[in-house]
Amino acid sequence: DQQVKQNSPSLSVQEGRISILNCDYTNSMFDYFLWYKKYPAEGPTFLISISSIKDKNEDGRFTVFLNKSAKHLSLHIVPSQPGDSAVYFCAASAGNNDMRFGAGTRLTVKP
Amino acid sequence: NAGVMQNPRHLVRRRGQEARLRCSPMKGHSHVYWYRQLPEEGLKFMVYLQKENIIDESGMPKERFSAEFPKEGPSILRIQQVVRGDSAAYFCASSRDRGNEKLFFGSGTQLSVL
């Protein structure tokens, strides 16, 4: 029962360019969406979130876009930096903290 | 100013033994969540607990797995009679309230079953 899907297991971009990570969900009850970043041997750390009443949220180099009709969200990182290389997880919840995560996308930013 | 603390970081067990994973939530947090990450897979929700209560255990295997969050002390995820397929990274997270809040994760316990 994969309610949150990240179809790209990996992504490689050049330093300074834009990274776009995508996420799709199936549960229309989800109303809160988050992106987490994970380095090896560490726990995931919160990056940015968006509620369903918005379609965009920006924090520095990171912007999350939400398309409710398509049940799709994306994370844009611009400009990408080598330190951004990590696994990025998309997560969604329906207001009850029963948060579901995608399988993750491994981002590699090449110098 | 401690975050979510999990111990041990690494746990090695032989098949048939018991594994106990501990999690102390962030100060002021009364909601605890356990997730499992299998190799090359994402984070799978297991169980959500509040102090002395299991709120949602829909992600827990029906047998051998149990979780508790007592009034005093850390949350415990217990796996009885471990099998090789239990080998995974187990992450604990906590939040202050219920509802749409970000979760704060610990560094995880890597369980290896020989």
Confidence at residue B18, expressed as pLDDT on a 0 to 100 scale: 98
Confidence at residue B1, expressed as pLDDT on a 0 to 100 scale: 52
In angstroms, the CA A45 to CA B103 distance is 9
Query: Along the 111 residues of chain A, how does pLDDT read in single tens digits?
Result: 679 999 999 999 999 999 999 999 999 999 999 999 999 888 999 999 999 999 999 999 999 999 999 999 999 999 999 999 999 999 998 876 678 899 999 999 999
Amino acid (one-letter) located at B26: M
Q: Is the pLDDT of residue B114 over 90?
A: yes
Choose, out of B53, B100, B109, B112, the residue to mutate when testing the contact with A (most A CBs < 10 Å).
B100
**B1 touches A: beta carbon within 8 Å:** no
Task: Give per-residue pLDDT as tens, B14-55.
Answer: 999 999 999 999 998 999 999 999 877 788 999 999 988 999
Confidence at residue A1, expressed as pLDDT on a 0 to 100 scale: 62
Residues 6+ apart with CB under 8 A from A77: A18, A19, A21, A61, A62, A84, A107
Using a CB-CB cut-off of 8 Å, the residues of chain A touching B21 are: none
Choose, out of B90, B92, B103, B112, the residue to mutate when testing the contact with A (most A CBs < 10 Å).
B103
Which one-letter DSSP state was computed for residue B25? P
**B44 touches A: beta carbon within 8 Å:** yes
